[in-house]
Amino acid sequence: MHRRLIAPGALVAASLLLAIPASAASHSPGAPGIGDPYYPYYGNGGYDVSHYDLRLQYQPKTDELQGTATILARTTQDLSSFDLDFLLDVSEVRVNGAKAAFATAGQHELVVTPKTPLAKGTAVTVVVRYSGVPSAKSAYGFTTWHRTPDGAVAADEPEAAWWWFPSNDHPRDKATYDVSVAVPDGTQAISNGTLQSSVSKLGWTRYNWRQNKPQATYLTTLALGRFDITTGTSDGGVPVVNAYSKDLGDNDGAARASVERTGEIVDWLSGYFGPYPFGSAGGYVPNTTTGYALETQTRVYYSPKQFAGGSNTSVVVHELAHQWYGDDVSLEDWKDIWINEGFARYAQWLWSEHEGEGTTRELADYVYASHPAGDAFWTVAPGDPGADNQFDIAVYDRGALAIQALRDEIGDDAFFAVLKGWPKEHAYGNASVADFRKYAERVSGKPLAALFDTWLFQPSKPAAGTGRSLARAAAPAVRPKSWKRIEATNAVHGH
Ligand SMILES: [Zn+2]
Max Cα–Cα distance, the chain, nearest Å: 71
pLDDT of res. 495: 27
Most confident of 3-7, 13-17, 22-26, 165-169: 165-169
Per-residue pLDDT at 188 exceeds 80: yes
The alpha carbon of 45 and the centre of ligand 1 are apart by a number of angstroms equal to: 27
- CB neighbour class for 324 (10 Å; exposed up to 12, middle 13-18, buried from 19): buried
pLDDT digits (tens, 9 = 90+) for 420-458: 999 999 999 999 999 999 999 999 999 999 999 999 999
CATH class of 330-493: mainly alpha
Per-residue pLDDT at 21 exceeds 80: no
pLDDT digits (tens, 9 = 90+) for 131-149: 999 999 999 999 999 999 9
Per-residue pLDDT at 389 exceeds 90: yes
The alpha carbon of 132 and the centre of ligand 1 are apart by a number of angstroms equal to: 31
The alpha carbon of 338 and the centre of ligand 1 are apart by a number of angstroms equal to: 10
How sure is the predictor about 468, in pLDDT bands with cuts at 50, 70 and 90? low
Cα distance between residue 339 and residue 333, in whole Å: 11
Cα distance between residue 159 and residue 42, in whole Å: 8
Q: How many CB atoms lie within 10 A of CB 375?
A: 11
Per-residue pLDDT at 159 exceeds 90: yes
How sure is the predictor about 471, in pLDDT bands with cuts at 50, 70 and 90? very low
Cα distance between residue 488 and residue 199, in whole Å: 40
pLDDT of res. 16: 45
Average pLDDT, whole number, for the chain? 93
The alpha carbon of 414 and the centre of ligand 1 are apart by a number of angstroms equal to: 24
The alpha carbon of 154 and the centre of ligand 1 are apart by a number of angstroms equal to: 17
pLDDT of res. 488: 84
Nearest Cα to 300, choosing from 140, 467, 489? Answer: 489
Is 479 in a helix, a strand, or coil? coil
pLDDT of res. 25: 57
Domain boundaries, the chain: 23-184, 330-493
Q: Which of 322-326, 410-414, 487-491 is least confident?
A: 487-491
Nearest Cα to 114, choosing from 50, 30, 191, 189? Answer: 30
The alpha carbon of 216 and the centre of ligand 1 are apart by a number of angstroms equal to: 15
Mean pLDDT of 71-77: 98
Element spanning 427, H or E? none
The alpha carbon of 295 and the centre of ligand 1 are apart by a number of angstroms equal to: 7
Q: Which of 153-162, 192-201, 483-492 is least confident?
A: 483-492
Cα distance between residue 466 and residue 451, in whole Å: 8
Mean pLDDT of 261-265: 98
Mean pLDDT of 282-291: 95
Per-residue pLDDT at 215 exceeds 90: yes
The alpha carbon of 265 and the centre of ligand 1 are apart by a number of angstroms equal to: 16
Overall pTM > 0.85: yes
385/478: higher pLDDT: 385
pLDDT of res. 467: 61
The alpha carbon of 356 and the centre of ligand 1 are apart by a number of angstroms equal to: 22
The alpha carbon of 364 and the centre of ligand 1 are apart by a number of angstroms equal to: 18
Nearest Cα to 482, choosing from 378, 364, 368, 321? Answer: 364
The structural architecture, per CATH, of the domain 23-184 is Sandwich (2.60)
The alpha carbon of 395 and the centre of ligand 1 are apart by a number of angstroms equal to: 10
Q: Which residues surround ligand 1, an ion (CB under 5 A)?
A: 341, 344
pLDDT of res. 492: 52
Per-residue pLDDT at 26 exceeds 90: no
The alpha carbon of 294 and the centre of ligand 1 are apart by a number of angstroms equal to: 7
How sure is the predictor about 469, in pLDDT bands with cuts at 50, 70 and 90? low
Beta bridge partners of 111: 83, 103
pLDDT of res. 419: 98
pLDDT of res. 463: 86
24/89: higher pLDDT: 89
Preceding omega of 166 cis (within 30 degrees of 0):
no
pLDDT of res. 39: 97
pLDDT digits (tens, 9 = 90+) for 390-422: 999 999 999 999 999 999 999 999 999 999 999
The alpha carbon of 297 and the centre of ligand 1 are apart by a number of angstroms equal to: 12
Nearest Cα to 299, choosing from 412, 385, 194? Answer: 194
Mean pLDDT of 455-472: 77
The alpha carbon of 340 and the centre of ligand 1 are apart by a number of angstroms equal to: 6
Per-residue pLDDT at 337 exceeds 50: yes
pLDDT of res. 475: 61
Mean pLDDT of 308-321: 97
Cα distance between residue 4 and residue 140, in whole Å: 9
23-184 and 330-493 in the same fold: no
Measure the CA angle with vertex 211, ends 226 and 266; round to 5°.
80
Nearest Cα to 320, choosing from 349, 353, 348, 292? Answer: 348
Q: How many CB atoms lie within 10 A of CB 373?
A: 11
